[in-house]
Structure 1
Amino acid sequence: GSVAAGYLGGAISDRIGRKPVIIVGFGVEALFLLSLAAVGGRTVLGLALVALGSAFGSVGGGASQAMVADLVPPQRHERAYAAMRVAFNLGITIGPPLGGLLLLGQHWPRLFLGAGALLLAVLGLAARFLPRRGAYSPEKPPERGSFGVIRRDAPFLLFVLSGGLAYLVYVAFETVLPISLVSSHGLSPSAWGFLVIVNPITVTLFQLRLTRRVERYPAAPRLVVAMLLMGWPFLLLSLSASIAVVALLILVFVIGEMLWVPTSQAIVAGLAPADLRGAYMGAFGSTSAIGFALAPLLGLQTRAAGGDTAMWTFFAAISVAAAISGAVACRFAAGRMAARAVVSI
């Protein structure tokens, strides 16, 4: 559902504008959050509401990513997407303590009501301050269907494949790594919770600095380095799972993540035709849903069959495949962006 919703939201935003799609998509997600307060013990209903709410959140995701490219010139795309990551990770850093305060006394309805109300308040600010169009928005809506264009765009499809593989590695960090550390290596859940906060704090403090330092280098080698930094540190766990090693793994992983995300988003913005930018950003963003669906399944099945080392070797190999496919796609992207720059002169 989230895969289709992300693409459709982006495609619709190409036709009616980014702002209404962002507000409606995240607004419906907020309503689903509020409705969770009334679920009580009806588990199936609660899970269905969570799934539907996430899908509507994806509707606004592609439009919001496309709006970034509408607002800033192409040479500043990476910095703009890096700034978005800082804001996102600041929310990840602040969100758990705020949620804990709302959950005092294990009052779950208050948590859902508070989160939903906060999202609606943010959408009120978006309705007031988001522009209807940016300085780099296309002049008119597309006169062609986006699906057919995307289907014939081999470099973009290759980059989507690379993104899907990269998200398998990323989601392995989010979901499979804590399972392995707690069940196989005896790390306490509280210790993992303390260590993992290094990730969003590091992004919040250093993402913009790192992006400025590396943006002068070509995208392809940056993407290769990013993928290897994300996938290969898992292999350290075959040697040791001490606190120091886990902390090092997290730090190296987050450096790779900081290289990967803004670089990949800027590449997609560069590959996308201006009139179909939302559809392209939505289609690429939907690869995250594929990662969340498949990474735990594939990782834990590999672990059950061959143990933790086999599982981490699998994800390291996936990172290599993501690096190779992404680097090849980057070469096509660089040529396409250079050709557009010549035409615009």
Structure 2
Amino acid sequence: MSTGHKIFIPRNDLFFIAAAILTTSAYFVSGMFESPITPLFLSSKYGFATYYITALFAINTVVAILFQNSINVVTGKWKDSLRISSGLALYAVGYLIIGLTPFFPVVAMAIIVLTLGENLQVPATMAFITRLAPQNQRGGYLGFASAIGSLIYPFRPLVGTIILAALIFSPVELWGTFSLMCAAISVIFLLFSMSHRAGRGQEVSTHANIK
């Protein structure tokens, strides 16, 4: 006999729900370069041979491994929200570079920038979501955030390929669109986080006055 399992929803924690949706949206856009969109574009529009494309993904892997610890040291004292926003800003720059020229070294440089953005965003996002979750309900909260991602991520290749088909003949517009998405979410996330800190500060001040 099967037993149904209900998904935990933190209905009374609207900030966490909004944060989960926002961080998932950030992953949705930033992860475009690791989806089929990048090799499809590079082969069909720039005419890159398969070994050039696999070399770019190799660069991504090597840079991610070599620089993760250094980035953690340099940005260790930054707030998670600033690291996430900075990572998205790097994604915005990297995407824009891809659209500027089919010259392989320039595209390789763009991949390096994107990978550094990934090194900033991914661990900071995990830490940010974990810290928002109450300790006694952390499993349920993280499960909820994961469920949102599971619902949204499968549509990333579909949305990306639709944009690719529409803008394939204009690389600057294509990658500029992804760049603007990352830049917009970067700013929104930073403002969102700042408003939360301001709200919490106001709440603490109110409690202090009551006491």
Residues 70-85 of structure 1: matches in 2 within 5 Å? none
From 151, 159, 169, the equivalent of 2:29 is 169
Cα displacement string for residues 192-212 of structure 1 (whole angstroms, at most 9, x for unaligned residues): 112211222222222122112
Residue 186 of structure 1 corresponds to 47
Residue 316 of structure 1 corresponds to 179
Q: Secondary structure at the match of 1:187?
A: coil
Query: Which stretches in structure 2 are left out of the alignment for 5+ residues?
Result: 205-211
Q: Secondary structure at the match of 1:151?
A: coil
Cα offset for 1:240?
Answer: 0.5
Q: Answer yes or no: is 1:155 the counterpart of 2:15.
A: yes
Q: Answer yes or no: is 1:268 the counterpart of 2:129.
A: yes
Q: 1:183 to 1:292 in 2, by over 3 A?
A: farther
Q: Distance in 1 between matches of 2:73 and 2:52?
A: 33
Cα displacement string for residues 243-292 of structure 1 (whole angstroms, at most 9, x for unaligned residues): 11111111101111111111111111111011111122222234543553
Q: Distance in 1 between matches of 2:44 and 2:180?
A: 23
Residues 86-125 of structure 1: matches in 2 within 5 Å? none
Q: Distance in 2 between matches of 1:334 and 1:274?
A: 22
Residue 225 of structure 1 corresponds to 86
Q: Check the 8 A contact 1:228/1:319 in 2, yes or no.
A: yes
Q: 1:238 to 1:298 in 2, by over 3 A?
A: same
Q: Answer yes or no: is 1:250 the counterpart of 2:117.
A: no
Comparing 243-252 with 150-159, greater Cα deviation is found at 150-159
Q: Distance in 2 between matches of 1:290 and 1:244?
A: 36
Cα offset for 1:321?
Answer: 3.0
Q: Distance in 1 between matches of 2:106 and 2:127?
A: 32
Cα displacement string for residues 196-232 of structure 1 (whole angstroms, at most 9, x for unaligned residues): 1122222222212211221212333322211011133
Q: 1:326 to 1:286 in 2, by over 3 A?
A: farther
**Kindly, what percent of the aligned residue pairs are identical?**
26
Q: 1:328 to 1:171 in 2, by over 3 A?
A: same
From 130, 148, 164, the equivalent of 1:303 is 164
Q: Distance in 2 between matches of 1:204 and 1:173?
A: 18
Residue 96 of structure 2 corresponds to 235
Displacement over 6 Å in runs of 4+: none
Counterpart of 1:265, as a letter, is M
- Between structure 1 and structure 2, the one with the greater Rg is 1
Q: Check the 8 A contact 1:227/1:260 in 2, yes or no.
A: yes
TM-score, with structure 2 as normaliser: 0.80
Comparing 297-306 with 279-288, greater Cα deviation is found at 279-288
Q: 1:153 to 1:333 in 2, by over 3 A?
A: farther
Q: Distance in 2 between matches of 1:200 and 1:329?
A: 31
Q: 1:249 to 1:261 in 2, by over 3 A?
A: same
Q: Check the 8 A contact 2:80/2:127 in 1, yes or no.
A: no
Q: 1:245 to 1:283 in 2, by over 3 A?
A: farther
Cα offset for 1:188?
Answer: 1.2
Q: Secondary structure at the match of 2:48?
A: coil
From 55, 71, 80, the equivalent of 1:210 is 71
RMSD: 2.6
Q: Distance in 2 between matches of 1:230 and 1:291?
A: 20
TM-score, with structure 1 as normaliser: 0.51
Q: Distance in 2 between matches of 1:238 and 1:272?
A: 39
Counterpart of 1:309, as a letter, is V
